[in-house]
Amino acid sequence: MTPDTGRFARWVLLPLMVVALAMAGAEAAVKPRAVLVVAFDASSLERDEQWLGQGIAELLSLGFDQHPAFVQVAEARLRAVGRPEAWGEAVVVQAARTLRADTAVFGRITRTGTELIVQPRLMELKGGAADPVSLEPVTIPEGELLARLAPLAVTYARTMKVALTDVEVRRMDKAGQPTRSLKAFELYSRAAVATMQRPGQEGNEQAVDLLARAIEADPNFVVAQYTLGTVHQALGNRWKAAAQFRASTQLDASYPEPYKALGDLFMAQPRRLFDQAVEAYNKAIELRPFYADAYVGLGDAKAAKSDVDGAVAAYTKALAHNPINPRVHMSLGKIYYTEKGLYY
């Protein structure tokens, strides 16, 4: 490529990218923000209750997944900065800055007699400054944990001044109560703790046992069914993973995560099933139009089928909904370099 050709490509490519991103951005009705969700500090509780700190974080994550304004920092990135004994304000600020989060969600949970007191906190990071906000404490009488915590994601969203429709509120509230069985929720939360504290085979095997018991306690616990599939997938048990993903779609056909996961499995098969992967990713996107990771998978499947323009379109939509996903930037870079010769 000559210098003149390179300059021409640059002047042609940049406006096209700007237009494509603007069109995809128009589909994203709200500006997404990077949110770090960490376990609430439960260090004052008895040891057999400390799982509650991670449990609250799990419920908030499920709620935030339902709204396009929230792009959550991936668990793998959070794990890379370490796991402190307790997520206090100073540690949260440091982690949020390291991970370049716009907002951090954290808090503390204590016990007074038979009641639990949840003290939610929020940290907005603007221009290098950290602005802490304390939300109204939530008092939880014995036996009312799941019902009282269900609206917490909506409370956080409103504190962040995120516009919510009635449909979005109902969706977030529903996600915030994925089971009515406290025992099942405890086992699910303990599985999350196991995978975070002991990443690798040991933690995953422990999580399999805990999630299986959670499903025994509540066979309709869709999120636990799906999560068990992801753990089996991490252990290399593709058939067991596929069975769990299909079980969760049968329990709740409106839950998009297992469809996206099935797409990933189709892509990872020795005899790659690209058409089935495209179908699975499209189903996940149909159920959640702002599902950035599903757009990424769709882009990968389109690229594998040599549908370069389709892949670029899918990746561009993924960036509109999650601009901090490094995998998308890398994939777009590869396509522009290898397929289109647009080196600049």
d(CA 107, CA 55): 12
Q: What pLDDT was estimated at residue 29?
A: 58
Q: What pLDDT was estimated at residue 47?
A: 94
Contact 104, 93 (CB under 8 A): yes
How many angstroms from the chain centroid is the CA of residue 61?
7
Question: What are 3's two structure tokens?
Answer: 């210098």
Instruction: With H, G, I as helix, E, B as strand and everything else as coil, classify residue 106.
Output: strand
Give DSSP secondary structure letters for 157-179.
HHHTT----HHHHHHHHHHT-S-
pLDDT tens, position by position, 188-218:
999 999 998 888 899 999 999 999 999 999 9
Q: Which domains does the chain have, with CATH numbers?
A: 3-30+183-338 (1.25.40.10), 33-177 (3.40.50.10070)
Nearest to 330, CA basis, from 310, 313, 314, 315: 315
d(CA 5, CA 10): 9
- Beta-carbon contacts of 207 under 8 Å, excluding residues fewer than 6 positions away, are 191, 192, 194, 195, 231
Q: What are the φ and ψ backbone dihedral angles of 156, each rounded to 5 degrees? A: -60, -45
- Beta-carbon contacts of 36 under 8 Å, excluding residues fewer than 6 positions away, are 72, 73, 78, 92, 95, 96, 99, 101, 103, 104, 105
Q: What pLDDT was estimated at residue 13?
A: 42
Q: What pLDDT was estimated at residue 15?
A: 41
Per-residue pLDDT of the chain (344 residues; tens, 9 = 90+): 444 444 433 433 444 444 344 444 444 457 899 999 999 999 999 999 999 999 999 999 999 999 999 999 988 888 888 778 889 999 999 999 999 999 999 999 999 999 999 999 999 998 778 889 999 999 999 999 999 999 999 999 999 999 999 999 999 999 999 999 999 999 999 999 999 888 889 999 999 999 999 999 999 999 999 999 999 999 999 999 999 999 999 999 999 999 999 999 999 887 779 999 999 999 999 999 999 999 999 999 999 999 999 999 999 999 999 988 888 899 888 888 888 888 88
Residues forming a β-bridge with 108: 41, 119
Residue 44 Cα distances to 85, 116, 237, 286, 313, angstroms: 12, 11, 38, 44, 50
Contact 116, 182 (CB under 8 A): no
d(CA 192, CA 196): 6
d(CA 44, CA 108): 9
Q: Which amino acid is at 202?
A: E
d(CA 81, CA 301): 31
Contact 113, 120 (CB under 8 A): no
Give the CA count within 13 Å in the CB-facing half-sphere of 313: 6
Q: What pLDDT was estimated at residue 18?
A: 43
Q: What pLDDT was estimated at residue 5?
A: 40
Q: What pLDDT was estimated at residue 72?
A: 95
Burial of 166 (C-beta count, 10 Å sphere; 0-12/13-18/19+): exposed
pTM: 0.87
d(CA 196, CA 291): 24
Sign of the CA dihedral running 262, 268, 272, 274: positive
Give DSSP secondary structure letters for 4-35.
HHHHHHHHHHHHHHHHHHHHHHHHS-S--EEE
pLDDT tens, position by position, 262-276:
999 999 887 779 999
Nearest to 29, CA basis, from 171, 164, 172: 164
